[in-house]
Amino acid sequence: MFVVIYGMACCFLSMGSSYYSGTISTMEKRFSIPNKVTGIIGVGSEISTVLCSASLSYYASRGHRPRWIALGFLIIILFCILMLTSHFFYGPGEEALRLTEEYGSSEFVNTILNSTQKDDSLCHKKDSNCIEDTSDYKPIILFFIAQFIGGIGCSFIYAPGLSYMDDNLSKANSPRMLSFSTFLRMLGPAMGFSMASFCLSLYIDPFKKPLITPEDPRWMGAWWLGWFPMIFILLIAAFFVGIFPKETPKARVRRLKAADKGEMDAAIGDPSFQDMFDSLKRLASNKVYVYYALGSIFYCYSYMPYWSFTSKYMEIQFRQSASTSTLAMGTWPFGFSAAGVLIAGFIISKYKPSARTMAAWNFVLDYIRVAALICYALVGCDEGDRANLLTIIPSGDSCSASCDCEFVYYAPVCSSENVTYISACHAGCTEKGLDDLGRTIYTGCKCLGSFLNQTLISNETSLVSQSPSVVDGACPVNCDQQFLIFLAVMYLLRFVSATGSSSNQLLALRCVSTKDKTFSMGFSTMMLTVLVYIPGPIISGWMWDSYCLVWGKTCGVEGNCWIYDSRSLRFTINLVSAFLIFLASFFNFGIWYYAKDVKIFDEEETSATRCQDEVLDLKDKPNPTNADKQVD
């Protein structure tokens, strides 16, 4: 019952984490947050993990672990509340409201009635003021505090929960139950990304009618809406986890028997600093644990650019909407991962492979991951890459040099030649109106002919189009085929990689003594946090920002990035990640070499032991049935 309840509770916890990841690109647009600042926000949870993980895990292992876990969920609820309140404090933002019918139509009518009024989206001489800086660091600080609090909550949940399950299960049942719990937890990201996809399909202010569609890069979805149900779901989860006992009756019997036989690992003493220091020395001399921890560092670094920005990767590389990217990231891949975990758990429980066999399979998986990441690097949308480069060429052209375009809002327009410009200003347009279909159209665009003269001259014959107008919105780019190939490779990789999840957990739990189990997990989490989770998001955010082509600008301040050099970004991220996993494979080889003495399973239980367990069960039943009496 604990496996089911705890698995579902962690499912809801990972649901909140994936919801945050699915909405982060919209949050960047709303609050003009660069990727490197987003990485700093994410570091908040890692800092609290460093401060709390090892010590809390140690003391939780000596206390009532289910109640510690319930407290962790209550702290996560506070994290959700802080994320939600930022929208009510600061609203949808002026930039989003400009694109609604309530705001936009009145602006357009005023422009028509008063032809002398200046439209900032058009080409004007360089005598206008830049856009005032509307960014505010208060919501960024609020997000950081929320992440800091969330990290404290997670420190109470994962390590105590896994060790509680492993301590209260027989070693023969642990692989199956741990796999089932992991399966339930993996349903959370699918649910979280699906909820994020639904929320992002709604406009950031659901009570207003937007003038753009979700496919428009300026679209901002209702990123804040999903935190409402998360609060109530986690509250219910905290209650049900907290009502479990400190130790199950069967586990108590096994522990007392082990103590009688002189196996002191089963007896856990009172917490003390000296005992914690002794545990640390034992872990440092455990080669399997050390190789496992070092390999995890490289492995986590390799996937750092994806954990927070996978949906954004799909938006940039394959020109998908935020809603579509989040849905593709959140539903099917985790279904494949869950299937891999269940199959691996069944195989491990049935065939009981040795620790070296499990380590060897993890070693093979590393090279499968390397091959998949190389495929990621090769699968890109050439049409989208060309569109990104074409977009920025006109901005420095002489035809728009006299226009004050540097601080114009990012508002892409499309010419009849299917060329996207950053804005009507960058296309040199001087007038605005509506065409017969009701679309916003910009005319008098002097940059169209100049741009084509420079790029489409063949055999000294100019192919200049005579069309002087552009329409609102970016030109359509078809990357669906490449997107489907990418999804197929990703889903296959998720399935294969998930088969190593159960064996990884078992190796981490079994390579240390029973009394060091919870502390070892907390300490490894703390070490990964210091070396990976704190610098990692900042480094990956810097990597993304270094390939930005068009920034949203205000007076002297850069906001979020609107257009990336997607081809260079794709090769850098994937090839660097593949190299890091290749390095991690050497540590998995070290685990294989030293894991020969690691005992994953106990000897088969004797019939007398099984009979005692059955008797213990019957004693807990107040009114045994006739069938129970026969068994007795």
Share above pLDDT 70 across residues of the chain, in percent, rounded to a whole number: 76
Tokens of 432: 């605005």
Q: How far apart are the first and last CA of the chain?
A: 24
19 has a pLDDT exceeding 80: yes
Strands 420-421 and 440-443: unpaired
Nearest to 73 by CA among 136, 12, 126: 12
Q: For the segment 454-500, what is each residue's pLDDT rounded down to a tens digit?
A: 444 443 433 344 446 888 877 878 888 888 999 999 889 989 988 88
- With 60 as the cut, is the pLDDT of residue 105 above it? no
Provide the angle, in degrees to the nearest 10, between the axes of the packed helices 158-167 and 174-201: 150
CATH number for position 552: 1.20.1250.20
Q: Is the pLDDT of residue 416 over 80?
A: no
Q: How many CB atoms lie within 10 A of CB 77?
A: 20
Helix (H, G, I), strand (E, B) or coil at 286: coil
Same domain assignment for residues 314 and 410: no
Out of 472, 504, 526, pick the residue that ends a domain.
472
Of these ranges, 54-63, 251-260, 441-450, the one predicted with the greatest mean pLDDT is 441-450
Domains held by the chain: number: 3
Q: Per-residue pLDDT for 383 more than 90?
A: no
Q: Is the dihedral of CA 392, 396, 398, 402 positive or negative?
A: positive
Distances (CA, A) of 120 to 53, 96, 109, 511: 52, 16, 15, 65
Same domain, 142 and 67: yes
**If you average pLDDT over every residue of the chain, what do you get?**
77
| Full residue range of the structural domain in which residue 36 is found | 2-381+479-597
If asked whether residues 45 and 133 sit together in one domain, one would say yes
Q: Is residue 274 classed exposed, middle or buried when 0-12, 13-18 and 19+ CB atoms within 10 A define those classes?
A: exposed
Q: Are residues 358 and 426 in the same domain?
A: no
Q: What is the pLDDT of residues 250-292, one digit of tens each?
A: 777 776 776 665 554 444 455 566 777 888 888 888 899 999 9
> What is the distance between the alpha carbons of residues 523 and 284, in angstroms, rounded to a whole number?
11
Half-sphere exposure of 167 (CA within 13 A, CB side): 30
Tens-place pLDDT, residues 370-380: 999 999 999 98
Rounded Cα distance between 158 and 7, Å, is 11
191 and 298 co-located in one domain: yes
Alpha helices in 379-431 (DSSP H): 382-392
Would you list the DSSP string of 59-110?
Answer: HHHTS-HHHHHHHHHHHHHHHHHHHHHHHHHH-S-HHHHTTBHHHHHHHHHH
**Residues 34 and 122 placed together within one structural domain of the fold:** yes
pLDDT, one tens digit per residue, over 186-216 is: 788 878 888 888 898 899 888 888 888 887 7
Residue 471: beta bridge partners?
414, 441
pLDDT exceeds cutoff 80 at 612: no
Say yes or no: 275 and 196 in one domain: yes
Mind giving me the DSSP string for 514-562?
Answer: GGGHHHHHHHHHHHHIIIIITHHHHHHHHHHHTTEEEEEEETTEEEEEE
Residues 463 and 561 in one domain: no
Residue where one domain finishes, among candidates 472, 491, 525: 472
376 and 388 housed in the same domain: no
Burial (Cβ within 10 Å: 0-12, 13-18, ≥19) of residue 499: buried
Distance CA 25, CA 462 (A): 41
Q: Which residue has the higher pLDDT, 621 or 84?
A: 84
Same domain, 320 and 426: no
In sequence order, the 6+-apart residues with CB closer than 8 A to the CB of 488 are none
Task: Characterize the bridge pairing of strands 431-434 and 420-421.
Answer: unpaired
Beta-sheet pairing, 440-443 with 431-434: antiparallel
Q: 509 and 444: one domain?
A: no
Label residue 627 by pLDDT band (50, 70, 90): very low
| Model pLDDT for residues 547-588, shown as the tens digit of each residue | 888 777 655 556 677 788 888 889 999 999 999 999 999 999
* pLDDT computed for residue 179 by the predictor: 73
Q: What is the pLDDT of residue 41?
A: 86
How far apart, in whole angstroms, are the C-alpha atoms of residue 225 and residue 212?
20
Q: Six-digit token pair at 516?
A: 């060091």
**What is the Cα–Cα distance from 148 to 49, expressed in whole angstroms?**
8
Q: Tens digit of pLDDT for each residue in 300-355?
A: 888 887 776 777 888 888 888 777 877 787 667 777 887 888 888 888 888 888 88
Residue that is last in its domain, among 442, 472, 502? 472
pLDDT band for position 294 (50/70/90)? very high
- Both 436 and 306 in one domain: the answer is no
Lowest mean pLDDT among 97-106, 224-233, 311-320, 623-632: 623-632
